[in-house]
């Protein structure tokens, strides 16, 4: 059985401001296997790493990401809201993340936030960057907007995609395969149904589940041989994975 991958949700977001370069550095220092990062598109079509469509929660800006040029987004502070010592931290571009971490063997789970704002051109811009940094084998693109995933596969049939979903879908493997998905990314509660884990395994669909922060669920999922866990608590998950695998 392969070891469960430890994926830091928005970077190490409990010790540093989510989706910033410092949060990804902290996650690397913890020893994670990958990052989950949320991608929106600037007004001038540059993929940027930020969870919300709106700027208010994690920056000192106002309004929608899509209504700001990259230059305007780069003026904003994306760290002080979290703790004063992170003042000056910026919203990273996806390219900045790749430029800094592409040399590692980390897995990049890029979540396209195309569910509320549709962002025409987001898929193409992201895929160009994955190709430029030669990261096809280290990247999974996920999204709650499954049209985005189909679009990604049209643009590059080698691009690995994974459906994100909240609902307790019944036998979703045929749907995932119809979309050409590499993996499936369900909310973790559903994996308490053993037939779901079994069904995905039988259909060769790796499971990357989110957002698992309680040790009890971490243990259950690692022992169940889940391929990847997306967590806000990567240090705790690391201890559990090492305990079960040693």
Q: Which residues are catalytic?
A: 9, 51
Contact segment (CB under 5 A) with Mg ion among 110-118, 168-176, 180-188, 221-229 equals: 110-118
Binding residues for ligand G3P restricted to 146-185, rule: CB under 6 A: 164, 185
| Residue 238 to residue 244: CA distance in whole angstroms | 10
* Total residues at interface with ligand G3P (CB under 6 A): 11
Non-local CB neighbours of 58 within 8 Å, separated by 6+ positions: 17, 18, 19, 50, 51, 52, 78, 81, 82
Q: Which of residues 3-62 bind ligand G3P (CB under 6 A)?
A: 9, 36, 38, 51
Interaction partner, residue 164 (ligand G3P, Mg ion, none; CB < 5-8 Å by kind): ligand G3P
| Binding residues among 202-231 for ligand G3P as defined by CB under 6 A | 210-211, 230
Residue 24 tokens read as 């990804």
**What is the distance between the alpha carbons of residues 32 and 5, in angstroms, rounded to a whole number?**
8
Task: Kindly state the smallest distance separating residue 108's Cβ from ligand G3P, in Å.
Answer: 12
Query: Cα(209)–Cα(215) distance, rounded to whole angstroms?
Result: 14
**Binding partner at 22 among Mg ion, ligand G3P, none, C-beta below 5 to 8 Å by kind:** none
Question: Which residue's CB atom is positioned nearest to ligand G3P?
Answer: 210
Would you state the structure tokens that stand for residue 198, as one six-digit string?
């079994």
| Cα 18 to Cα 14: distance, rounded to the nearest angstrom | 8
Please tell me the distance from the alpha carbon of residue 48 to that of residue 96, in angstroms, as a whole number: 9
Residue partners of 18: CB distance under 8 A and separation at least 6: 10, 11, 51, 58, 82
Find the binding residues for Mg ion in span 4-23 (CB under 5 A): none
Contacting residues toward ligand G3P, per CB under 6 A: 9, 36, 38, 51, 111, 142, 164, 185, 210-211, 230
Contacting residues toward Mg ion, per CB under 5 A: 38, 111
């Amino acid at each position: 059985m392969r070891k469960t991958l430890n994926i830091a949700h928005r970077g190490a977001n409990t010790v540093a401001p989510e989706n910033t370069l410092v949060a990804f550095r902290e996650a690397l220092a913890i020893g994670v296997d990958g990052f989950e990062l949320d991608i929106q598109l600037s007004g001038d079509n540059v993929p940027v790493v930020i969870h919300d469509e709106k700027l208010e929660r994690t920056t000192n800006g106002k309004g929608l990401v899509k209504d700001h040029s990259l230059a305007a987004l780069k003026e904003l502070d994306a760290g002080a809201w979290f703790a004063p010592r992170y003042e000056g931290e910026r919203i990273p571009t996806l390219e900045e993340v790749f430029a800094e971490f592409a040399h590692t063997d980390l897995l990049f789970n890029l979540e396209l936030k195309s569910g509320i704002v549709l962002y025409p051109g987001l898929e193409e811009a992201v895929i160009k960057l994955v190709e430029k940094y030669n990261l096809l084998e280290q990247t999974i693109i996920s999204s709650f907007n499954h049209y985005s995933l189909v679009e990604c596969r049209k643009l590059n049939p080698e691009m690995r995609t994974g459906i994100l979903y909240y609902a307790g879908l019944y036998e979703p493997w045929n749907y995932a395969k119809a979309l050409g998905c590499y993996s499936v990314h369900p909310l973790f509660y559903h994996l308490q149904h053993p037939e779901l884990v079994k069904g995905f395994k039988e259909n060769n669909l790796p499971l990357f589940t989110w957002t698992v922060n309680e040790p009890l669920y971490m243990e259950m999922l690692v022992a169940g041989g889940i391929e990847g866990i997306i967590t806000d608590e990567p240090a705790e998950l690391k201890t559990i994975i090492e305990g079960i695998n040693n």
